[in-house]
């Protein structure tokens, strides 16, 4: 009996935690309120397809599915995103143009993002 009560409390705690996580994911995006979001998947030591239709002011989020750390480092210095294993991190594309980027740990990992005005 007491075990069931404990299990119930644990489930509630998990639910409350999940709601906190959801709020944390939503609120910062609303606070920015500018531009769209685009995602690049990093997997098997490679950057996935670059998003199309990115405009100045949009946010690009990289999601690292590998078990090693990566970065998305712009050659023109406009962003340097650290990507621990399993993590996601973002950068706002401030200016129009083509931005070549690479991984500082694995320089053979390269890609570019085309940012429209």
The residue assigned the tokens 């750390």 is 69
Asked if 106 is part of the footprint of Cu ion (rule: CB under 5 A), the reply reads yes
Distances (CA, A) of 75 to 2, 94, 112: 60, 15, 10
**Contact with Cu ion (CB under 5 A): which of 54, 58, 60, 70?**
70
Beta strand 110-115 with 97-102 is antiparallel
Asked if 105 is part of the footprint of Cu ion (rule: CB under 5 A), the reply reads yes
Asked if 103 is part of the footprint of Cu ion (rule: CB under 5 A), the reply reads yes
Work out how close the CB of 55 gets to Cu ion at its nearest, in angstroms, rounded to a whole number: 27
Asked if 20 is part of the footprint of Cu ion (rule: CB under 5 A), the reply reads no
Work out how close the CB of 18 gets to Cu ion at its nearest, in angstroms, rounded to a whole number: 31
Work out how close the CB of 38 gets to Cu ion at its nearest, in angstroms, rounded to a whole number: 20
Work out how close the CB of 83 gets to Cu ion at its nearest, in angstroms, rounded to a whole number: 8
- The dihedral sign for the CA sequence 99, 53, 35, 71: negative
d(CA 117, CA 114): 10
Angle at 86 between CA 36 and CA 43, to 5 degrees: 80
Which CB atom, from 99 or from 109, has the smaller least distance to Cu ion? 109
Residues contributing to the site for Cu ion (CB under 5 A): 70, 103, 105-106, 109
């Amino acid at each position: 009996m007491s075990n069931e009560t404990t299990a119930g409390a644990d489930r509630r705690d998990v639910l409350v935690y999940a709601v906190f996580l959801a709020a944390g994911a939503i609120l910062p995006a609303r606070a920015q309120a500018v531009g769209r979001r685009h995602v690049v998947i990093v997997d098997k030591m490679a950057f996935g397809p670059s998003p199309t239709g990115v405009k100045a002011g949009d946010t690009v989020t990289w999601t690292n599915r590998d078990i090693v750390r990566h970065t998305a480092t712009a050659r023109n210095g406009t962003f340097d995103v650290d990507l621990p294993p399993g993590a996601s991190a973002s950068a706002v594309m401030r200016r129009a143009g083509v931005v070549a980027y690479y991984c500082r740990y694995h320089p053979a990992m390269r890609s570019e993002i085309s940012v429209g005005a």
